[in-house]
Structure 1
């Protein structure tokens, strides 16, 4: 068994943190399933077909997140071909899920927009009637001028004035009815869409589509992040519980101070670090966590040359005591505990 320095950096998350993670994960997965159901249930009106399509939506959603969990598991085991196959399944299912979320969220925003449109249509109808009355009054005024020119003021003009007064009363009544219509409060989503459309100088429908796609992708990534977090925490807990309190050579802190243990590094019975070989000094410094696992830190701490440190790290790498990360930085694993004779 090896001592992993990364495990000493933190402890497993507490109950509150894990309950929060599970709550966020469950809520995001449930929301994603509901939006996918809205898409699949709209495919057919037959109850049996809706049941089948609904089950298919749930299977796709749960399979998607399990595939993402497998991506993390296979990456941790360095099974890269298996990780790529699981990632392919996840991407396909994620595309279906995002499509379902787009349909569901878009349907909800369309319903909110319909209420606003219906109310606006009523207002527009009243405005059209009021404008028509204005046009009729203008025509009557033109006719009145002709009657005045014909000196028929007593007959024609008086009749037109009475008709105009009647039209004005009707116009005022329509304006009062229009103003007394119940005000439909604009939802925050509709207001956000209108603001985006004005800011980006695009149509409201385009802004709505962009917002819906963004929210759908964000929901999917949010759920995938917490699923991956659960997988990482489970792997860390497994390693942490199986880890022994090791220091040098996998011994306990009390044993690490014994001359018998220190003699392993110099093949003598002395405990003087100055008499150790450069390799043993590096191994001891890294085992006691006195210095970071990097060539520059070791060279500066022990005042070794670059070539000498390169040779030591190559030996450590060949013996499996250190490994290289994806960014070419070294990772300390520790030395195996000696088997008791």
Structure 2
């Protein structure tokens, strides 16, 4: 068990949680790859070039998330320069990925708006024809008034009335055709764009661009978060596996009612562990590969003097735990247990 300052227990995540994390990570990475493919495949119409650009998009996407994984690994090892180099590499690939996502999402929203616009154009065409007939009828009425003033009702006005009746019939047919056009249901994304444009008092194109950029960045950060979560969990599991919980012999988890009828077992007091000597700490550190097999590394790791380090390495060399290379550097040979040495 691991405890923090508030004594809260931290265990590795269970199988369901890890399957959920891997599922979210895979789905977000797949979506990011698809949007990047939409951008790279539109560069050239040649199938060979599309294959090359598509492979390049996949390599960039996978390399981007591996670079982000390396950022966490190098930060955990306190390798600041290595972390900054991996972070810069990730930033370049993330910019390319976000650009691809912007292109893919923008293309999808444009297609949804185009479908609605086509139907709206048909309605507008019928409305224009109906308005044109209204104007023609208005002109005919003006001409009829002139015929009335000229007292030519029988010839001019009658003809104009017949012509207006035909125009009104034509107008009714056009209105009927316009009303029979199937209504296109407005997509959620189109409605969201129009709502944003109306609430922010901006153009629909500006609202669409802002929404697309926001979704693209959110998708990239979403995937990066889960990739980093997987790396952190793997590092925690490695640390957790090196810690063995202490169990109490003779302990019985009994209910209060059962303890009234059964013998009561007191937990066995375990002897306090004696502190390890400096020599044993050096053996543990070298055996667990927590420090390099060199005098300077051991001195810095345990904060001991040069004289103590010389004595420890002399003892390890005489016992065959370490050996010397041709360049006089020490090489770890290993031991089975600390008890066999001391």
TM-score, normalised to structure 1's length?
0.73
Please tell me whether the aligned partners of residues 193 and 204 of structure 1 are also in contact (alpha carbons under 8 angstroms).
yes
Report deviation, 1:246.
Answer: 6.4
Report deviation, 1:9.
Answer: 2.8
Please tell me whether the aligned partners of residues 40 and 53 of structure 1 are also in contact (alpha carbons under 8 angstroms).
yes
Please tell me whether the aligned partners of residues 3 and 10 of structure 2 are also in contact (alpha carbons under 8 angstroms).
no
Aligned: 1:213 with 2:209: no
Please tell me whether the aligned partners of residues 255 and 261 of structure 1 are also in contact (alpha carbons under 8 angstroms).
no
Aligned to 2:10: 10
Deviations 1:121-151 (A, max 9, x none): 0000000000000000000000000000000
- Judging by fraction of residues, say which structure has more helix: 1
For the residues of structure 2 that align with 1:112 and 1:244, how far apart are their CA atoms?
Answer: 58
Aligned to 2:74: 74
Which stretches of structure 1, 4 residues or more, deviate above 6 A after TM superposition?
A: none
Aligned to 1:49: 49
Aligned to 1:30: 30
Deviations 1:31-58 (A, max 9, x none): 0000000000000000110000000000
Aligned: 1:99 with 2:99: yes
Q: CA RMSD in A?
A: 2.4
Report deviation, 1:243.
Answer: 1.6
Aligned to 2:158: 158
Report deviation, 1:261.
Answer: 4.3
Deviations 1:169-225 (A, max 9, x none): 100110010001011110000000000000000000100000000000000000000
Gaps in structure 2 of 5+ consecutive residues? 248-266, 277-300, 304-337
Aligned: 1:119 with 2:119: yes
Aligned to 1:65: 65
Please tell me whether the aligned partners of residues 37 and 57 of structure 1 are also in contact (alpha carbons under 8 angstroms).
yes
For the residues of structure 1 that align with 2:94 and 2:246, how far apart are their CA atoms?
Answer: 43
For the residues of structure 1 that align with 2:270 and 2:164, how far apart are their CA atoms?
Answer: 110
Please tell me whether the aligned partners of residues 44 and 50 of structure 1 are also in contact (alpha carbons under 8 angstroms).
yes
Report deviation, 1:245.
Answer: 3.1
Counting matched residue pairs gives 262
* 1:233-252 equivalent positions in 2, closer than 5 A: 233-245=233-245
Deviations 1:246-301 (A, max 9, x none): 69xxxxxx99842x647x69xxxxxxxxxxxxxxxxxxxxxxxxxxxxxxxxxxxx
For the residues of structure 1 that align with 2:168 and 2:40, how far apart are their CA atoms?
Answer: 55
For the residues of structure 2 that align with 1:136 and 1:126, how far apart are their CA atoms?
Answer: 15
Give the 3 Å change call, closer, same or farther, for CA 84–4 of structure 1 in structure 2: farther
Report deviation, 1:319.
Answer: 7.1
Report deviation, 1:103.
Answer: 0.2
* 1:320-335 equivalent positions in 2, closer than 5 A: none
| 3-state SS in 1 of match to 2:151 | coil
| 3-state SS in 1 of match to 2:96 | helix
Report deviation, 1:8.
Answer: 7.3
Aligned to 1:181: 181
Give the 3 Å change call, closer, same or farther, for CA 168–38 of structure 1 in structure 2: same
For the residues of structure 2 that align with 1:86 and 1:246, how far apart are their CA atoms?
Answer: 40
For the residues of structure 2 that align with 1:256 and 1:192, how far apart are their CA atoms?
Answer: 67
For the residues of structure 1 that align with 2:246 and 2:56, how far apart are their CA atoms?
Answer: 50
| 3-state SS in 2 of match to 1:183 | coil
Aligned: 1:146 with 2:124: no
TM-score, normalised to structure 2's length?
0.72
Report deviation, 1:15.
Answer: 0.6
